[in-house]
Every structure is written in C-alpha cells, then in structure tokens.
Structure 1
C-alpha cells in the first residue's frame, strides 16, 4: 500500500504529465482508432492503458485502486523518459507525440 505522502506525490506527478483533459483524451482515443470503415465505441477506443488513464482522470484520489497506482507510475515514468518537460515541444516527431497522447500527454500543449 502507498502511504499518504507517496500518494500525494504520485497524484501531483500524474496530473503534471497528463496534460490532456478527459474529454481531449477520449476524443483522441476515438480518432486514433477510427478508420474509414468504422469508429469504435467510445468506451472501447484506444489502448488499455489509455482507457485506464481516462478512468483515473474521472476519479477522486480517495477512489484509486492499487491497479490505478501502477498505471499512474507507468504513465509518469513513460512520459518522463520520453520527454523533456522543460524543453517541449518536439513538433517534428509525430509518432512520439501520438504515442504520448495515447496516455494523456500532448507535448505541443502549453
């Protein structure tokens, strides 16, 4: 179990790196998975991690599960490893941007 200080730090880190709103993330996941023949159901669009991030964004801190905490750690680590939060954006790397947007981080967003 995570203690209160660790939880506070994780909550802050997660909300610092996830800079897309739940509406923006949901829209991105739908667009990303849509093709010319079909668009997925909103609650089935995107990756499992993207859907989990979306669910976490809609929760209160007191409602987080251990699984949520694992995903939050993974998202913070992923975004931190792949970006320099002080020196964004990396507009020239579209694939990286799209991959990060799948977990709620848009490098081009101020």
Structure 2
C-alpha cells in the first residue's frame, strides 16, 4: 500500500471509528461486548479481537503504524460500511447489531 492509499485508509478510519480508545476499551470490558458477534469455537468474537487492535491503532502515533495496522484499518472500514447498510428497523439501543458495530469502534447512536 503506497503512502497515498495509506492516507485515504487512515482518513476513512478516522471518519468511521467514532469511539475514542478509552470509550472502546471500556466497552470491550462489558458482557454485551463479549456476547456480540461471531465466536469461533466458544472463544473471543472476531469483532472483540478487532476492537483490541483498534484500541492499539487509536493509541499509536501515525508514524508508528505498521502495514498490518493499515490492513486492519481497511478491514474495519469495510466492516463498518457493510454493517451500517444492514441497519435493523426499530430501537437499536440494546441491539446485537449496535453492539457488534461498537466492537469495531463505531457507535451508531453517537453524534
């Protein structure tokens, strides 16, 4: 990924991930966070693991981001875009849909 592509990925990530590192870290410690998403063989969900990587990215300086971090940011951007398009009808406050998005650093109720 060249520097122009990295900058675009970083900008999209900054726009889509609307939770701070502190907010996300606190959220990841909740029961609701641990229950959301797809779990592999009873272990940690993909989104929960992603959230931990997102916290790392949010706490890193731009110059310290690795190629793996940029690849993960691309994955996060794609997931959030796809998941937002699947918004359920009705109240989403306590929905698994919202909780899953929050594991990926995006709270759809946050302005």
TM-score, with structure 1 as normaliser: 0.77
CA distance in 2, matches of 1:7, 1:79: 18
Answer whether contact 1:97 1:106 (CA < 8 A) is retained.
yes
SS in 2 for 1:55: helix
Q: Please say if 1:24 is aligned against 2:23.
A: yes
> What does residue 43 of structure 2 align with?
none
CA distance in 1, matches of 2:65, 2:90: 33
Report how many aligned residue pairs link the two structures.
95
Q: Which runs of 5+ in 2 are unaligned?
A: 36-46
5 Å-filtered alignment, 1:37-48, equals 47-48=48-49
> What does residue 57 of structure 1 align with?
58
CA spacing shift, 1:91–1:7, aligned 2, 3 Å = farther
**CA apart distance, 1:30:** 0.5
Please tell me the root mean square deviation across aligned C-alpha atoms, in Å. Answer: 2.3
TM-score, with structure 2 as normaliser: 0.76
**CA apart distance, 1:70:** 1.4
Answer whether contact 1:25 1:104 (CA < 8 A) is retained.
yes
CA spacing shift, 1:72–1:91, aligned 2, 3 Å = farther
CA distance in 2, matches of 1:29, 1:91: 25
5 Å-filtered alignment, 1:1-110, equals 2-31=1-30, 32-33=33-34, 47-84=48-85, 92-93=91-92, 94-110=95-111
SS in 2 for 1:47: helix
Q: Which runs of 5+ in 1 are unaligned?
A: 35-45
